[in-house]
Amino acid sequence: MAVRSELTADDVEATQGDFARHALELPELSAARTVAAYVSVGSEPGTRALLDALRARGVRVLLPVLLPDNDLDWAVYAGADRLARIAHPGKISLLEPQGPRLGPEAVLSANTVLLPGLAVDGRGVRLGRGGGSYDRVLARLEIAGATPSLVVLLYAHEVVQRVPRDPHDREVHAVVTPQGVRRFHPPEL
């Protein structure tokens, strides 16, 4: 997080196109009808170009809405002009979609889930921010028997040798950096 905090808005903007280009080359995104994603904030790897490109392709893009208990509801992305900055007291300020809420189970319809993270290791283990929101999403998918492709967007230096692993952690299938894609497990298309 310390390295990310040194990135400027221009740094993030400069890599957004590279993230989108590499991500859109993934078969799991090019074949997807529904993608659960997120709107990047601050110095996170930029997702806006990717969200708009997916939407332009006719992909149904679901974006999270943070609930008071840190679980996630979902709503359809209808464009940047339909995002609102929501301040969550004691937490983070997020850009969230406006429009009808679909419920936490909506993620089960996703062919691919784009996960935020701080790092991924050589085994495909993702290190999140510690709030547990996406751990709940991954558990919900597993309980339902849903097997979407799991993809993380990270800066190249955030792909590391080893991160701590808890029993509930799930491996991701791929990580996208501005330099390209690294696969950990083959996609189930």
Residues annotated in the binding site, as ranges? 39, 44, 126-134
Binding-site residue set for substrate? 39, 44
Q: Please, which residues have CB within 8 angstroms of residue 62's CB and are 6 or more apart in sequence?
A: 34, 35, 36, 37, 74, 75, 76, 77, 102, 106, 107, 109, 110
Binding-site residue set for ATP? 126-134
Q: How far apart are CA 180 and CA 162, in angstroms?
A: 20
How big is the CA angle at 11 (ends 8 and 14), to the nearest 5 degrees?
A: 150
81 DSSP 8-state letter: G
